[in-house]
Structure 1
Amino acid sequence: MLSDPNENWKEEEYTLPAAPREAALREFSVSATTPHRFYVDEDSLSVGEDGVVRFVLVVRSAGGATNVTFEGIRCVTGERRLYASGRANGEWSPARNSAWEPIVDNSYDRPRAALAYDYLCDGPAPPRNRAAALKLLKTSQPGFRHLHEGIVR
């Protein structure tokens, strides 16, 4: 975890987004070896005044199971937060443990690490706004920033 340069940082209020729409799902690459497919719901992608990038993550297994979560990433500290899990009926169930945690490059956090380090964050800097976040999500190439900046996961 990176140190927080703003010891007085306070997370702003957020609202749970609408259930993801299939047409708004943007696939991103996590690993060539994983059988799962990963998507960010573009409709839900936001960058708060608090610097938190919030989004709906959709994970589809090779067997057809789908997992939907509403999450946040703090680029400045390298942390993630799970806000809620999606239900099949489109409603949200608040996460039992919703604390900020370091992003660790393990099998569970790999999509979050990819989003933070390959797609959305420029080192410790979050995207300027939603438009910049969408552009990064659409144009970034996985692994490129790590190789370019010498960051090792």
Structure 2
Amino acid sequence: MRPLRWLRLAMGACLAVSIPALAQYADLDRADWKEDTAPPPPEYSSRGLIEIEMPRSASVKMGVDPKTIAINHATGIVRYVVVARGPSAVNASYEGIRCATGEYKVYARQTEGNPWSPSGEDDWKPMRGQSGVVVSHPYRLARDGICIGTGVRQTVDDMVRELRSGNRSLYY
């Protein structure tokens, strides 16, 4: 078989496999999309966090607790707890990402030793602003393993493996 024909066949096979996987999320930005009720924030630990690469921030370390990552395939939302550790405080945030629309949402916040407080933010926000500026940690989580393009990875194990590997999604 000639190399060009082989390349066309391989590209066609990849396209045939990827379209159905992404199509299941393609309509999640419809006007009739409804978010499910977010479960309460899960328990988390500051041990075993997957570090989030944060440029420009030497004093604050951020990480996601892999045991808190939860996927709702029906809505396309991935929820998780991210922990920020600084020289004088440890704070946590319970958040969600919608890969289909490139948005994130903060459900609740917690300062060390205190109960969770609702964020008071009801709207989904873009991870990329109009000028291309990104909201650092949700964008990095989406790019580094939660999302695959505009789709959600199929399992939490897949997400954790990708987050730990440092690979980058081609679409974010």
Please point out which of 127, 148, 162 is paired with 1:136: 162
Do the aligned partners of 2:150 and 2:171 also contact (CA within 8 Å) in 1? Answer: no
Q: Does 1:59 align with 2:84?
A: yes
Report the count of equivalent residues.
140
TM-score normalised by length of structure 2: 0.71
Who wins on radius of gyration, i.e. which is larger?
Answer: 2
Deviations 1:47-83 (A, max 9, x none): 112111110011123x332221000000010000000
Please give the per-residue CA displacement for 1:6-59, whole angstroms capped at 9, x wherever unaligned: 31322122212333212342212132x321211001121111121111100111
Find the aligned partners of 2:90 and 2:46 in 1 and give their Cα distance. 12
Extract unaligned runs of 5+ from structure 1: none
What residue is the counterpart of 2:72 in the other structure?
48
Superposed CA offset, 1:65-120 (max 9, x none): 2221000000010000000001323521111113111113657x211111112332
RMSD: 2.2
Letter in 2 for 1:118: D
Higher helix fraction (1 or 2) = 2
CA contact (8 A) 1:24 1:43 kept: no
Percent identical among aligned pairs is 26
Structure 2 residue runs without a partner (length 5+): 1-25
Letter in 2 for 1:135: R
Query: Cα gap change, 1:10/1:150 in structure 2, threshold over 3 Å: closer, same or farther?
Result: closer
Greater RCO (CA < 8 Å, at least 6 residues apart): 1
In the alignment, what sits opposite 1:5? 27
